[in-house]
Amino acid sequence: MAKRAIGRCPICEHELKVTELSCNHCKTVISGQFELCKFCKLDEEQRYFIEMFLKNRGSIKEMEKELGVSYPTVKNKLEEVRKSLGFLEDEKPKVNKKEILNKLSQGEITKEKALTLLTE
């Protein structure tokens, strides 16, 4: 069984880089700094989760049965994997409509500015 490369340093948890590639056939060696694939950076538990997720065609209901966990647990594990892969949510500030309308009624902002803020 082939050994699997790890993506994070076991000491400090920072990302590891591959610095050498070699051919078992002709013994060619290439050295440099190479990126690991995104999935190599996942830990063993996260890779297993992704395998089961694909096996179950992304069905959270089937994942609940397969892993013997609740719906929120599956969703949390999925979100953890998404973050590890670099898929972060765009944090859009919530529009406070009441505050905008108060500012408009008190003459603090123009009608145009209020419309712009409400439609962003």
| Domain boundaries, given as residue ranges, for the chain | 1-41, 46-89, 91-120
CA dihedral sign of residues 13, 17, 20, 22: positive
| The token pair that represents 98 in the structure block | 């009441």
Through-space distance between the first and last CA atoms of the chain, rounded to whole angstroms: 54
Question: What is the per-residue pLDDT for 70?
Answer: 93
Question: What is the per-residue pLDDT for 16?
Answer: 86
Could you read off the pLDDT tens digit of each residue along the chain, which spans 120 residues?
A: 667 778 788 899 888 888 999 999 999 999 999 888 888 888 889 999 999 999 999 999 999 999 999 999 999 999 999 998 888 766 566 778 888 888 889 998 898 888 888 887
Question: What is the per-residue pLDDT for 96?
Answer: 82
Contacts of 7 (CB under 8 A, 6+ apart): 15, 16, 36, 40, 41, 42
Q: Residue 35 and residue 28: Cα distance in Å, rounded?
A: 19
Question: What is the per-residue pLDDT for 32?
Answer: 92
Q: Residue 92 and residue 84: Cα distance in Å, rounded?
A: 21
Matching residue, tokens 């049965």: 65
